[in-house]
Chains A and B, each alone.
Chain A
Amino acid sequence: MSAVRELDLSKLPELGFGHAAGVWWAVLGLIAIEGTMFALLAVSALYLRQAAPSWPPAGIPAPAIGAALANVIVLVVSLAPMVWVHMAARRFDARAVVIGLVIGTVLGIAALVLRMAEFHALHVRWDSNAYGSIGWSILGMHTGHLLTSSIENVLIILVMRSPHRQGKHFVDTEVNALYWYFIVGAWLPLSALVFWVPRWP
């Protein structure tokens, strides 16, 4: 080889947000995986429903919708601080991130409390019949997501206040917000499936 040309990469930035970041794609992959799981649970519910003489089965009242409505509202409202956190992360504004995540965490805890009422509102146990099993499974799996995301919110708050915080932690904050959008977005059709569809004839 006579002449070797060089492409100098040293001036490239060291951090990228959005689709320039590997973790962004990883979280998108996670959303695809978890989204597929929710979709399959939903399809299973519809499959069991179309074969059932009635849904809910005879003798079981339709779910009460108070807690469900409240929780949908709480979750949709929680999008606001999350969007704020998202924008703050892009600005490397740690203080705003912390404030936003505190609000988000409070709302997340509220959602978890309401979730307990939602389980109750199903008026059926997980082991009574398939209707109860699938309803509890959908709620249960989503609750798992709420729980782990709320814990992650708290952890990011702590990292933001750590002296060893790095730029990449703001990218992590952004993808955490992304995942929160998914948790809320996925819940809307699922809530309708669990709480409203059984009210249809």
Chain B
Amino acid sequence: MSDPDAEHRERLAQTWAPRPGVLGWLSEVNHKAIALRYMVTAMGFFVLAGLLALVMRLQLARPGAHLVGPDLYNQIFTVHGSTMMFLFAVPVMEAMGLYLVPMMIGTRNVAFPRMNAFGYYVYLIGGLFLWVGLALNIGADVGWFSYVPLAGPDYSPGKRADIWAQMITFTELAALVAAIEIIVTTFKQRAPGMTLDRIPIVVWAMVVTSFMIIFAMPAVMVSSGMLALDRLIDTQFFNPAEGGDVLLWQHLFWFFGHPEVYIIFIPATGFVSAIVTTFSRRSVFGYLALVLSLVATGFLAFGLWVHHMFAVGLPEMGQGFFTAASMMIAIPNGVQIFCWLATLIRGRLLFRTPLLFVLGFIVIFVAGGLTGVMLAAVPFDLQVHDTYFVVAHFHYVLVGGAVFPLLGAFYYWLPKMTGRRLSEKLGQASFWLLFVGFNLTFFPMHQLGLVGMPRRIYTYLPDTGWGGLNLLSTVGAFIIAAAVTAFAVNVLWSLRRGAPAGDDPWGAATLEWSTPSPPPTYNFVRIPVVHSRYPRWTPLADPMVTTGLRDDLREVVITSMLDAEPTTRHLLDGPTIIPLLTALAVGVGLIAGIFTPWGFVIGAALVLPCLVAWFWPKGDPARELAEGRA
């Protein structure tokens, strides 16, 4: 660019540079680096869980198969579900948020860079913990929602259920950390001029999701904590013989579990809004309606949980309330769909892979949402609850509603993240493979549920007649595998051979496309001043940028929450190994904690010095000068 900026850019590059070497890699606190790690790790877990699914499908392809016995099968379906929900879906959405939000709001990093690193390491340790359990044949085997009394001390001997319960602690700690990051960064670090109604919908979606995480995760913390205590030190939370209640588990778990699926879905709706905007070459229709729908969905999601419990015999009036709420959530979801359809119909479509995935999402997610409305009807739910009909439903809404938009988002934003274009041909092939494979796998499952096939069975007898549809489903599963492989090949190929993407390969509207691809560590040479919801589509003849922020220290501007008026300058923290050490300390404590209650004491003793090191003043003269020794 212009010459005076060249020096400024160099100083910024120096100030925001990571430390070198392996130690530097482990000390990384840049939000993009950490987000990419989250993404790679989450996609790795996705593939692992997918392989487990292939084993299940092979086992179920014919009646009475002996590929895996019941004990291994039960570990497989538990680890498949737990991995997809806790180790893939939520983390990958958080990852996209951690990467995109600071870029879309025009700042240089998240509000608490070290805590961000800590969150990632805690997630990694928790995920590995679950899989090491499976590798050692002590994998969790009580299903991803781990009902008691089956998961309790009487019927699940050994450490399997404890491994599951503690994995929960790791992963929701990471999720809570990421949620705080996104909320605080969005509230306080938006570029000047980015008022509430100029915030990109992706960012709104991530903020709503983050609030949901804050209020939902504690429920699974409490329930898994109670389970761990019942198993470890003989508390009686779930023992009916001593005043405990089996259903307490279900209420607490599903109070988390239902919002959890919206925590996965809502970020995806953000991606859809962004992709629909760019590939319709127009502003999205109904920005306010879309934002309000996000908020409404976020609230309503907390009022549905009992629909997972319709078969346990709760009072009819209570059930009716939850039927109504579960159907009503179709309304804000519908608003979103209609706004996107309106944008697509009234826009000029640019047919590229991200748009294909959005079109696929609309078909599959709406189908899944409709079976959801069916399941909300108690009498019908009583027939298909806990059958393959439900398996079909939730894969339609989760794969359709989250994975399709996620893949679209990858095709859309990976060129920005890596600097390389992906192959459009391979992209479209991967879409069609996934669309066909997915429907072939999961559509027959609706029928299987209706004809009597329950969930979580390692085999079935020939007289049931379920063999044909199961075989069809298994064939579909391998087509899905081909689709995922095509995507992986595309990504790897693009990293080596992809054409340079340039700053803005899609001609998009929002701030992240104003940086080089991949972006420098400091994101923007000058923090922009935002004047519109679509800054790059409404360029000013005399644009405004900020000056006066220090480029020899990691300084960002803090703005007010509603109007994004600059209020203070703020120094962010730089690279340090302490988050990793703290995460390891937490890991030791939590893992020891499944063997002895003293584990928590050990953990606390290890964590305390880490936290002291984290927060102790370092005696950095430049910072002290900047922050004023008072």
- Stretch from B73-81, B393-401, B486-494, B611-619 contacting the other chain: B611-619
Selected contact of A137 from candidates B229, B615, B618, CB within 8 Å: B229
Q: Which residues of B contact A162 (CB under 8 A)?
A: 616-617
Selected contact of B558 from candidates A22, A128, A165, CB within 8 Å: A22
- Stretch from B88-96, B232-240, B265-273, B285-293 contacting the other chain: B232-240
B547 engages A10 (CB within 8 Å): yes
Asked, given contacts A47-B245, A127-B236, whether A7 binds B617 with beta carbons under 8 Å apart, the answer is no
A101 to B569: give the CA distance in the assembly, Å: 29
A87 to B226: give the CA distance in the assembly, Å: 40
A14 to B392: give the CA distance in the assembly, Å: 55
A119 to B179: give the CA distance in the assembly, Å: 34
B158 at the interface (CB under 8 A from A): no
A110 at the interface (CB under 8 A from B): no
B542 engages A29 (CB within 8 Å): no
Q: Which residues of A contact B7 (CB under 8 A)?
A: none
A44 to B488: give the CA distance in the assembly, Å: 46
Asked, given contacts A12-B557, A133-B244, whether A4 binds B548 with beta carbons under 8 Å apart, the answer is no
Asked, given contacts A129-B236, A132-B236, whether A37 binds B222 with beta carbons under 8 Å apart, the answer is yes
- Stretch from A72-80, A168-176, A177-185 contacting the other chain: A168-176
A123 to B541: give the CA distance in the assembly, Å: 76
A36 to B112: give the CA distance in the assembly, Å: 23
Selected contact of A130 from candidates B188, B239, B630, CB within 8 Å: B239
A3 engages B545 (CB within 8 Å): no
A159 engages B616 (CB within 8 Å): yes
A30 to B184: give the CA distance in the assembly, Å: 12
B183 at the interface (CB under 8 A from A): yes
A153 to B331: give the CA distance in the assembly, Å: 49
A22 to B111: give the CA distance in the assembly, Å: 7
Type the 1/0 row for A45-72, where 1 means its CB is closer than 8 Å to any CB of B: 0011001100001000000000000000
Residues of A1-55 at the interface with B, using a CB-CB cut-off of 8 Å, are 1-16, 19-20, 22, 25-26, 29-30, 32-34, 36-37, 40-41, 44, 47-48, 51-52
A187 at the interface (CB under 8 A from B): no
B546 engages A137 (CB within 8 Å): no
Determine how close the nearest CB of chain A comes to the CB of B367; give it in whole angstroms.
34
Q: Taking CB as reference atom, which chain A residue is nearest B176?
A: A33
Q: Which residues of A contact B328 (CB under 8 A)?
A: none
B229 engages A133 (CB within 8 Å): yes
Determine how close the nearest CB of chain B comes to the CB of A48; give it in whole angstroms.
6
A134 to B252: give the CA distance in the assembly, Å: 14
A134 to B548: give the CA distance in the assembly, Å: 55
B612 engages A155 (CB within 8 Å): yes
Number of A-B residue pairs with CB-CB distance less than 8 Å in the complex they form: 198
A37 engages B221 (CB within 8 Å): yes
B628 at the interface (CB under 8 A from A): yes
A131 at the interface (CB under 8 A from B): yes
Asked, given contacts A12-B557, A26-B180, whether A128 binds B242 with beta carbons under 8 Å apart, the answer is yes
Q: Which residues of B contact A14 (CB under 8 A)?
A: 568-571, 626-628
Q: Which residues of A contact B189 (CB under 8 A)?
A: 22
A141 to B237: give the CA distance in the assembly, Å: 15
Q: Which residues of A contact B55 (CB under 8 A)?
A: none
Residues of B123-169 at the interface with A, using a CB-CB cut-off of 8 Å, are none
Q: Taking CB as reference atom, which chain A residue is nearest B238?
A: A130
A137 to B232: give the CA distance in the assembly, Å: 14
B558 engages A44 (CB within 8 Å): no
A1 to B545: give the CA distance in the assembly, Å: 12
Q: Which residues of A contact B627 (CB under 8 A)?
A: 14-15, 166-168
Asked, given contacts A40-B252, A130-B244, A164-B618, whether A3 binds B542 with beta carbons under 8 Å apart, the answer is yes
B192 at the interface (CB under 8 A from A): yes
Determine how close the nearest CB of chain B comes to the CB of A32; give it in whole angstroms.
5
Determine how close the nearest CB of chain B comes to the CB of A44; give it in whole angstroms.
6
Chain B interface, >50% SS class: mixed
B67 at the interface (CB under 8 A from A): no
A4 engages B545 (CB within 8 Å): yes
Determine how close the nearest CB of chain A comes to the CB of B212; give it in whole angstroms.
11
B243 at the interface (CB under 8 A from A): yes
B248 engages A44 (CB within 8 Å): yes
Q: Taking CB as reference atom, which chain A residue is nearest B626?
A: A14
A8 engages B548 (CB within 8 Å): yes
A137 to B229: give the CA distance in the assembly, Å: 9
B215 engages A36 (CB within 8 Å): yes
Type the 1/0 row for B387-415, where 1 means its CB is closer than 8 Å to any CB of A: 00000000000000000000000000000
Asked, given contacts A22-B188, A137-B235, whether A6 binds B618 with beta carbons under 8 Å apart, the answer is no
A165 engages B617 (CB within 8 Å): yes
Selected contact of A1 from candidates B111, B237, B543, B548, CB within 8 Å: B543
Selected contact of B624 from candidates A40, A47, A126, A166, CB within 8 Å: A166
A52 to B245: give the CA distance in the assembly, Å: 10
Q: Which residues of A contact B382 (CB under 8 A)?
A: none
Q: Which residues of A contact B539 (CB under 8 A)?
A: 1
A130 to B247: give the CA distance in the assembly, Å: 13
Determine how close the nearest CB of chain B comes to the CB of A96; give it in whole angstroms.
13
Determine how close the nearest CB of chain A comes to the CB of B384; give it in whole angstroms.
28
A92 at the interface (CB under 8 A from B): yes
A6 engages B547 (CB within 8 Å): yes
Q: Which residues of A contact B541 (CB under 8 A)?
A: 1-3
Q: Which residues of B contact A5 (CB under 8 A)?
A: 542-545
B569 engages A13 (CB within 8 Å): yes
Asked, given contacts A40-B219, A47-B251, A52-B243, whether A127 binds B234 with beta carbons under 8 Å apart, the answer is yes
Interface centre among A8, A10, A12, A130 (most CB of B within 10 A): A130
Residues of A70-118 at the interface with B, using a CB-CB cut-off of 8 Å, are 92, 94
B505 at the interface (CB under 8 A from A): no
A151 at the interface (CB under 8 A from B): yes
B496 at the interface (CB under 8 A from A): no
Q: Which residues of B contact A126 (CB under 8 A)?
A: 229, 233-235
Interface centre among B187, B233, B243, B619 (most CB of A within 10 A): B243
Determine how close the nearest CB of chain A comes to the CB of B503; give it in whole angstroms.
15
A181 to B244: give the CA distance in the assembly, Å: 33
A34 to B547: give the CA distance in the assembly, Å: 40
Determine how close the nearest CB of chain B comes to the CB of A54; give it in whole angstroms.
10
Asked, given contacts A44-B248, A127-B235, A137-B235, whether A15 binds B242 with beta carbons under 8 Å apart, the answer is no
B569 engages A48 (CB within 8 Å): no
A163 to B183: give the CA distance in the assembly, Å: 33
Asked, given contacts A40-B222, A128-B242, A137-B226, whether A166 binds B615 with beta carbons under 8 Å apart, the answer is no
Asked, given contacts A15-B568, A164-B619, whether A48 binds B245 with beta carbons under 8 Å apart, the answer is yes
Q: Taking CB as reference atom, which chain B residue is nearest A40?
A: B222
B615 engages A167 (CB within 8 Å): no
B558 engages A16 (CB within 8 Å): yes
A138 to B288: give the CA distance in the assembly, Å: 42
A172 engages B615 (CB within 8 Å): yes
Q: Which residues of B contact A10 (CB under 8 A)?
A: 547-549
The 19 sampled A-B contact pairs (Cβ below 8 Å) are A1-B539, A3-B542, A7-B544, A14-B627, A14-B628, A16-B567, A20-B568, A32-B215, A34-B218, A44-B248, A44-B252, A47-B251, A129-B244, A132-B236, A162-B617, A164-B618, A164-B619, A166-B629, A168-B627
Known: A36-B215, A48-B245; 19 extra A-B contacts, CB below 8 A, are: A8-B546, A8-B548, A9-B569, A10-B549, A12-B566, A13-B568, A14-B627, A14-B628, A26-B180, A33-B176, A33-B217, A37-B221, A44-B237, A127-B233, A128-B236, A129-B244, A137-B235, A166-B628, A169-B617
A-B complex: 7 closest residue pairs judged by Cβ atoms: A10-B548, A133-B235, A92-B630, A127-B234, A164-B617, A130-B243, A130-B244
